[in-house]
Amino acid sequence: MNAMSARPGGGRDLLRLDDVTKTFSNGTTALSGLSLAIRENEFVSLLGPSGCGKSTALRLIAGLGEPSGGRVEMLQARADASGRFDRGIGFVFQEPTLMPWGTVFDNVYLPLRLRGRRRARVEGDIEEAIGLVGLSGFENAYPRELSGGMKMRVSIARALVTRPRLLLMDEPFAALDELTRFRLNDDLLGLWRKLGWTVVLVTHSVYESVYLSSRILVMAARPGRIVAEKPVDRPYPREESFRTSSDYNAYCRAVSKALSLATEGAK
């Protein structure tokens, strides 16, 4: 099933975590017995209270750290013949973490520069990534000249310029005002469908996870684990009409309930 299909996630597994445990050197067990599989083109949210191990899980998926037990397997981690995807994983953090001394162009160029790609050869790719996030014309602007939402757009462009197959996002919109957040949610969904990514998003917002995801994995803390799985079986594109529909409200209620059970259970 391709990214344009109404119900994503019918594809093959792209990523598997099998009985993953993570205990830090101070003795904190952040994750225990975490198993999940993510299929190509899915948009999956990891939803849970603060401290339940969402970021730890995302970092292990990104290869930033090793599990203490179990396995993290990235499948089909090769470039595809069309050149549409690189082998890489894109990561968008909660803070846009831009270089203040670099322009928008310089910041989006960074991951390619780190791969030894000459600026002149990738100019077109960089312009394209900046265009995809709606920032054409701001190539020469510096981060201090940009709003929070625009900085996050630069951060997304920087992740997508490497053509990742898998995009990992750690609460990317948490610090933004609601209108900006809604707009970025819509633009992210548009990019996801257009570019055929698989997305794993960490969030603690029920509303955001229902709006965006094809599937929500609800986590509980102490130790971090998945306690419920909620498919959001509604077609894409999802627009404002979905956000105000009774369907959307019903999903939000069901997911909220699973989340409060998770939170209660962990006390």
> Whose Cβ is closer to ligand ADP: residue 65's or residue 131's?
65
CB of 67 to ligand ADP, least distance (A): 13
Contact (CB, 8 A) for 7 and 234: no
CB of 215 to ligand ADP, least distance (A): 18
> Whose Cβ is closer to ligand ADP: residue 28's or residue 256's?
28
Catalog residues that contact ligand ADP under the rule CB under 6 A. Answer: 24, 26, 28, 30, 48, 50-56, 224
> Whose Cβ is closer to ligand ADP: residue 53's or residue 96's?
53
Contact (CB, 8 A) for 198 and 167: yes
CB of 91 to ligand ADP, least distance (A): 14
> Whose Cβ is closer to ligand ADP: residue 55's or residue 162's?
55
Residue 89 CA from chain centroid, whole number: 10
CB of 250 to ligand ADP, least distance (A): 26
> Whose Cβ is closer to ligand ADP: residue 103's or residue 203's?
203
CB of 222 to ligand ADP, least distance (A): 8
> Whose Cβ is closer to ligand ADP: residue 93's or residue 242's?
93
Cβ partners under 8 Å of residue 241, min gap 6? none
CB of 259 to ligand ADP, least distance (A): 12
